[in-house]
Amino acid sequence: MAVGGEPAAFAGKEMRIVIAGAGLSGILKGIRLKQRGMHNFRILEKASDLGGTWRDNRYPGVSCDTPGHAYVYSFALNPDYKTRYAPGAEILAYYRRVAKKFGVIQHLTYNAEVLSAEWTGRSWRIEAANGEELEAEVFISACGRLHQPKIPDIPGLADFAGPWFHSARWDPSVGVRRKRVGVIGTGSSAAQIISALPSQVERLVVFQRSPHWFIDPPNTRLSLAKRLKLRFIPGEARKYYEKLHAFGEGLARQRMQGGEAGQQVVADFAHAALAKIRDPELRRKLTPDYAVGCKRIVICAAFAEAIQQPNVELEVEGITRVEAEGVRLRDGRLQRLDVLCLATGFRSDAYMRPMTLKGKDGVTLDELWADSFVNYRTVALPQMPNFFMINGPFSPGGTSPIVRVAEIQTGYVIQLIDRLAEQGGCLYPDDARTRALVAEIQDRAKQTVWFTGGCESWYLDRNGVPLVDPVLPSEMAKAMKTAHFADFVHEPAQRL
Ligand code: NAP
């Protein structure tokens, strides 16, 4: 079935566009297309609801460790968050509201994961899990980056007698009250879970493989006066949004470009947070042996207090296997558990896979990415005509809120789509130019603490090279304000 409208030569006509994913990037893409007067698009979502990461992550304590008032679309501010770090449920409600308000809901199809997409010479033939086959001149991946749970290869997981799940698949029907709960991992997701559980559970055992540096800015509650001001005084919400972004960029600039002194500022925060651990032995266990900022810094006000609760135990002995009754450790002890949560992160280099993508001359995505990742300015791939990505490889992380990054990328992609709408045919970036740009990014990224700091993290690809550009949001906005058509091959669409 076609998305709608006429097939093939589309110059001057409305193109058919398919977007994979209804997280914050897919919704944004839909809104921007509608604002350009392009309504002939479908958003295929693998799950039965929108919201991406905020739909998936419903574990106790889930919130956004980026200030909520900045974690919104620039054209749809939300003055109503009551706390600096908004709870996940409120963020999900925000994206639902915005998708509805801007008319994106009617373009959504749920339970329709894109299984494959193949370029036929003039359009993409797309196969979805709901059995639909679609044709579209433009295909966009808005699949996100941290959405495929990384299930660790720990022997015996399937033997565990109680419920177990990944943090992004937390099962709310499983009660944890007065239960013995285990959490594997101590990253950002784990820290939020650990902070929420002690008052509910009988016992919490945290299995740590490596400690993560953490900082603990308070989750300030906005006063009623401040909230009323943001809601009712024109311009106030915008001013606050700009202020938060300017503050975030200032911090990122200090960290990324401030040399040792800049790094030290963040390191001081991390050391001050660690100093709140009163027991020297526990503090020692929680002290990383790598540079601050090498792994993504955990931002969690309540973590230090939670990990020191009498019913919480930090286990640093390695895990041998999982058994029916709990987790067996290298020293032979068994930690008996009723519920086990794997806060073990995501397969950050999967991107839109396991979807298969076949482009020009039958080149597949796996072939294109066989040796290392290539990606043109985070949004396009050589040999993949009229295929665009939001939050693709080398998207900034840690320096810029993802919503801002998605807006910059979407603005760029819209310019490419505009060109296609005017002139037809197909666009894809030049291979040599793409590889030169990737080399520049990698050189930049290799100067950062992510590469030099002496740790493993999801920022790195399998060769240990950062998949993240340390670019600041304002620099990225400037560099991607105007599409670089000279870097693209523009071919007329083939006639079949
Ligand atoms: P993560 O940072 O990758 O942490 C995974 C944790 O699991 C690490 O402590 C890791 O230990 C541990 N682990 C993995 N495999 C293990 C194994 N086989 N045995 C024992 N431990 C194992 O994952 P995450 O906490 O889900 O966070 C991922 C990213 O999501 C964050 O960095 C952040 O960008 C984003 N996030 C954002 C927010 C927010 O509020 N904005 C909240 C949560 C997450 P090692 O360190 O030794 O590998």
Q: What is the pLDDT of residues 206-262, one digit of tens each?
A: 999 999 999 999 999 999 999 999 999 999 999 999 999 999 999 999 988 888 888
Give the Cβ contact number of residue 130 at 10 Å. Answer: 13
What's the CA gap between 222 and 241, in Å, rounded? 14
| Shortest-distance Cα residue to atom 37 of ligand 1 | 188
Q: pTM (2 decimals)? A: 0.95
User: Is residue 70 within 6 Å of ligand 1 at its C-beta?
Assistant: no
Report percent pLDDT > 90 for the chain. Answer: 93
Same fold, 17-147+349-491 and 157-216+276-342: yes
Q: How far is the CA of 212 from the centre of ligand 1 (A)?
A: 9
Closest CA to 53 of 262, 454, 425, 346: 346
* Index of the ligand 1 atom closest to the CA of residue 345: 23
Q: Which of 71, 167, 189, 212 to mutate to test the pocket of ligand 1 (most atoms within 8 A of CB)?
A: 189
| Shortest-distance Cα residue to atom 45 of ligand 1 | 210
> Strands across the sheet with 114-119, in order?
133-136, 124-128, 114-119, 356-358
What is the reported pLDDT for 496?
46
**pLDDT band at residue 4 under the 50/70/90 scheme:** very low
User: Is residue 359 within 6 Å of ligand 1 at its C-beta?
Assistant: no
Q: How far is the CA of 177 from the centre of ligand 1 (A)?
A: 24
What is the reported pLDDT for 494?
67
Q: How far is the CA of 346 from the centre of ligand 1 (A)?
A: 7
| Shortest-distance Cα residue to atom 4 of ligand 1 | 187
Q: Nearest 5°: phi and psi at 87?
A: -65, 150
Of residues 7 and 302, more confidence is placed in 302
Segment 80-88 shows an average pLDDT of 97
Sign of CA dihedral 298, 378, 444, 401: negative
Q: Which two tokens stand for residue 177?
A: 């009250």
Closest CA to 344 of 209, 179, 200: 209
> Is residue 8 predicted with pLDDT exceeding 70?
no
What is the reported pLDDT for 13?
61
User: Is residue 186 within 6 Å of ligand 1 at its C-beta?
Assistant: yes
What's the CA gap between 219 and 186, in Å, rounded? 20
CATH number listed for the domain at residues 17-147+349-491 = 3.50.50.60
**Residue 280, CB half-sphere, CA atoms under 13 Å: how many?**
0
Residue 280 CA: distances (Å) to CA of 185, 238, 274, 290? 21, 45, 10, 19
What is the reported pLDDT for 345?
98
> Is residue 199 predicted with pLDDT exceeding 70?
yes
Q: How far is the CA of 143 from the centre of ligand 1 (A)?
A: 19
> Is residue 457 predicted with pLDDT exceeding 70?
yes
Report percent pLDDT > 70 for the chain. Answer: 97
Domains of the chain by residue range:
17-147+349-491, 157-216+276-342
Helix (H/G/I), strand (E/B), else coil: 424: coil
Q: Which of 209, 210, 287, 297 to mutate to test the pocket of ligand 1 (most atoms within 8 A of CB)?
A: 209
| Shortest-distance Cα residue to atom 13 of ligand 1 | 344
Helix (H/G/I), strand (E/B), else coil: 203: strand
* Index of the ligand 1 atom closest to the CA of residue 344: 7
What's the CA gap between 72 and 91, in Å, rounded? 9
User: Is residue 340 within 6 Å of ligand 1 at its C-beta?
Assistant: no
Q: How far is the CA of 370 from the centre of ligand 1 (A)?
A: 25
| Shortest-distance Cα residue to atom 8 of ligand 1 | 185
> Strands across the sheet with 138-141, in order?
108-109, 41-44, 17-20, 138-141, 387-389
User: Is residue 294 within 6 Å of ligand 1 at its C-beta?
Assistant: no
Q: Which of 62, 148, 188, 298 to mutate to test the pocket of ligand 1 (most atoms within 8 A of CB)?
A: 188
Q: Apex CA 264: angle with CA 261 and CA 268, to 5°?
A: 145
What is the reported pLDDT for 9?
38
User: Is residue 456 within 6 Å of ligand 1 at its C-beta?
Assistant: yes
What is the reported pLDDT for 5?
34
**pLDDT band at residue 10 under the 50/70/90 scheme:** very low
What's the CA gap between 398 and 298, in Å, rounded? 11
What is the reported pLDDT for 424?
92
What is the reported pLDDT for 495?
54
Question: Mean pLDDT score of the chain, rounded to an integer?
Answer: 95
Fold of the domain spanning 157-216+276-342: FAD/NAD(P)-binding domain (3.50.50)
**Cα of 296 vs its chain's centroid, Å:** 13
| Shortest-distance Cα residue to atom 28 of ligand 1 | 345
> Is residue 1 predicted with pLDDT exceeding 80?
no
Segment 114-121 shows an average pLDDT of 97
Q: How far is the CA of 481 from the centre of ligand 1 (A)?
A: 33
**pLDDT band at residue 6 under the 50/70/90 scheme:** very low
Lowest mean pLDDT of 244-253, 257-266, 452-461, 487-496, name the range: 487-496
What's the CA gap between 163 and 170, in Å, rounded? 10
User: Is residue 184 within 6 Å of ligand 1 at its C-beta?
Assistant: yes
What is the reported pLDDT for 258?
84
> Is residue 19 predicted with pLDDT exceeding 60?
yes
Task: Give the tens place of pLDDT for each residue, 322-353.
Answer: 999 999 999 999 999 999 999 999 999 999 99
Task: Give the tens place of pLDDT for each residue, 25-69.
Answer: 999 999 999 999 999 999 999 999 999 999 999 999 999 999 999
Q: Partners of 250 in the beta sheet?
A: none
Sequence letter at residue 176: V
Bridge pairing between strands 312-315 and 319-323: unpaired
Q: Which two tokens stand for residue 3?
A: 């998305």
* Index of the ligand 1 atom closest to the CA of residue 397: 34
| DSSP notation for 382-396 | TT-TTEEESS-TT--
